[in-house]
Structure 1
Amino acid sequence: MLQAIYEHRGPVPQDVIDAVERETPTPGIGEVLMEVLAAPINPSDVLTLTGEYGMLPPLPAVGGNEGVGRVVACGEGVDGLSRGQTVLLPVGCGSWATHVLAPARKLVPLPDDADPEQLAMMTVNPPTASLLMSEFVDLQPGEWLIQNAANSGVGGYLITLAKLRGLKTVNVVRRESAVAPLQEQGADVVLVDGPDLAERVAEVTGNAPMRLGIDAVGGAATDHLASALSDDATLVNYGMMSGEPCMVAPRHLVFRNLNVKGFWLARWFQHATREQQQGLYGELAGMIASGQLAARVHARYDVADIKQAVAEAASGERSGKVLVTPAG
């Protein structure tokens, strides 16, 4: 089998990772061997390779935190899983590989007739998008929210989920070429970021109340969102695509009582009950299987081409997710 392995971290993510051949393991007691069908490359994966993410695995490590596999073999004592079954891989399993070995108790059976590429992107981005809209502000159908990095994986899911919940979205991007794809997806409003963002938002929404802002960029972009929000609104940050700390002018905090929060999916999982987690993933899996929820795929790469895949994922000129699809 092939695994995408990195033994150190550095500023150029594709330079630290290589496809390495390893002997395909045999599952032991309670273990399952799977061939990987698809595994995405997320911004957090890139930051893990550069050493900038908030939680880093010990080295050496296999890249990839989520994905979908097909059961190849089961060890003794494994019940409820069979050869050929589609399963959700455990978070942090090292999914950029042709095969993954994991404990059976950590696997989640998935619909065999659903698109494995869409299911492979289910673990991180869809729940993040869903929880960003529900954990901080009790938005009601017909209300507006604003997000930047709207052409990201989370941003795309958020647009779809908001529409299903009856919410309207202002979607901010950093380049003009990203506007049309989001409009085609059905985004209510798409604007290119800038210092005058608040004025343009007020104009296109008719000065509608804006109680929730979602920021994944940081830097001055955070303050642009803050300026577009209503008094007493909540601004939630979940990323720093600009590489810069969040900037929020004191006037928003002091005179307008803006609430600034942070969100990390891993921390939510630490506190959520098993029933809450199962409920969230059950809902999302159903939407993906029915075709209601889908993300754009920009490119597909074999594990052998992991350097090119990571370089593509780290670039800013993409129109969707980069996937590692070793079985394709």
Structure 2
Amino acid sequence: MLKAEYQERGPVPQDVIEAVPFEKPALGEGEVLVELLAAPINPSDVLTLTGEYGMLPPLPAVGGNEGVGKVVELGPGVDKPAVGQTVLLPVGCGTWRTHLVAQADKLIPLPNEADPQQLSMISINPPTASLLLSEFVDLQPGDWVIQNAANSGVGSYLIQLAKIRGFRTVNIVRRESLIAPLKEEGADVVLVDGDDLASRVKEATGGAPIRLGIDAVGDTATGRIADCLAEAATLVNYGMMSGKPCKISPASLIFRGVSLKGFWLAKWFENASPEQQIAVYGELTKLIAAGKLKAPIDSVFSVKDIKRAVALAAEGERSGKVLVTA
């Protein structure tokens, strides 16, 4: 059994984490042993290793915030979930390990017939994309949404969910090679970022008003998205891939009344009722199980190759998510 552990944080994420062997733990009352099926490496995981994320676990820690596994052993007093059942792992439990012990009543059963690699990414990016589309602007079928970092995990889910809900998307990327893949995912418009973005967006949409903008980059990219929005529109920032604060002009904020808001899924969880959470995840699970919602996967590494996996995930030149398996 192996776990991807880090004793410190540092500027090069792959340098601080390594695969460490551990003995099979004894199961206590109400516990089960779960074998990892798949766990993604998200930007937040990389930022956690470098110490730049908004919420950092105490050290030493095991990497990974989400994933799915298969129940392989039941502890005393446990009769479900059954051995062999695919389960959603608790968020933040350190999922980059071949096996983990969990409280049985904290595990959410998932469809065994669904693709575990796609299910492994359900906890963070899909609900983020879903809520970005529903929590800020009352969009109607036919409305336009614009986002940058459109080739990211959230960006990919947002394109697909917008299509399912009847919205149209303008998707901003950094290189032309990403245009064709995003078009295949259902993107209506894909443009390479640049200083003349607003004029090109206006031409591509026929001047249609865009009331919702979504920014994951920060810095001047935030302002370029704002320049594309209609009067009194809402711009939501959920990431800082540039490593710099959002920059937006007074012309957008004052004269056109654009509102800049922030979104963090962890904060949403703090305020959402159990019923609201079940509704969001219920919809997403059905879509993923039916093959209607999926994310591109760049590569898959075992826990023993965690250094290579993290190094690749930290790079920008990828064609999808990096996953960790047992």
TM-score (norm 1): 0.98
Consecutive aligned runs of 4 or more in structure 1 exceeding 3 Å deviation: none
Residues 5-44 of structure 1 mapped to structure 2, 5 A cutoff: 5-44=5-44
- Number of the residue aligned with 1:141: 141
User: SS in structure 2 opposite 1:66?
Assistant: coil
- Deviation at 1:175? 1.4
Given that residues 26 and 33 in structure 1 are in contact (C-alpha distance below 8 angstroms), is that contact kept between their aligned partners in structure 2? no
Q: Structure 2 counterpart of 1:257, which letter?
A: G
Query: What do you get for the CA RMSD once the two structures are aligned?
Result: 0.7
State the identity as a percent.
69
Following the alignment from structure 1 to structure 2, what is the Cα–Cα distance between the partners of residues 178 and 27?
47
User: SS in structure 2 opposite 1:54?
Assistant: coil
Given that residues 62 and 96 in structure 2 are in contact (C-alpha distance below 8 angstroms), is that contact kept between their aligned partners in structure 1? yes
Count of aligned pairs between the two proteins? 326
- Number of the residue aligned with 2:55: 55
- Number of the residue aligned with 1:2: 2
- Number of the residue aligned with 2:218: 218
- Is 2:126 aligned against 1:109? no
- Number of the residue aligned with 1:272: 272
Following the alignment from structure 1 to structure 2, what is the Cα–Cα distance between the partners of residues 197 and 217?
15
Deviations 1:164-189 (A, max 9, x none): 00000000001122112101212100
User: SS in structure 1 opposite 2:300?
Assistant: strand
Q: Structure 2 counterpart of 1:178, which letter?
A: L
User: SS in structure 1 opposite 2:70?
Assistant: strand
- Number of the residue aligned with 2:188: 188
- Number of the residue aligned with 1:77: 77
- Deviation at 1:232? 0.1
Deviations 1:197-239 (A, max 9, x none): 1100000000001000000000110000000000100000000
Following the alignment from structure 2 to structure 1, what is the Cα–Cα distance between the partners of residues 176 and 58?
40
- Is 2:306 aligned against 1:300? no
Residues 1:314 and 1:182: Cα distance change in structure 2 (over 3 Å) = same
Deviations 1:213-270 (A, max 9, x none): 0000001100000000001000000001111111011111111111110000000000
Q: Structure 1 counterpart of 2:189, which letter?
A: V
- Number of the residue aligned with 1:321: 321
Deviations 1:250-294 (A, max 9, x none): 111111111110000000000000111111111100000000000
- In structure 1, runs of 5+ residues without a counterpart are none
- Deviation at 1:26? 2.2
User: SS in structure 2 opposite 1:159?
Assistant: helix
Following the alignment from structure 1 to structure 2, what is the Cα–Cα distance between the partners of residues 11 and 29?
41
User: SS in structure 1 opposite 2:34?
Assistant: strand
- In structure 2, runs of 5+ residues without a counterpart are none
Given that residues 147 and 171 in structure 2 are in contact (C-alpha distance below 8 angstroms), is that contact kept between their aligned partners in structure 1? yes
Following the alignment from structure 2 to structure 1, what is the Cα–Cα distance between the partners of residues 303 and 25?
17
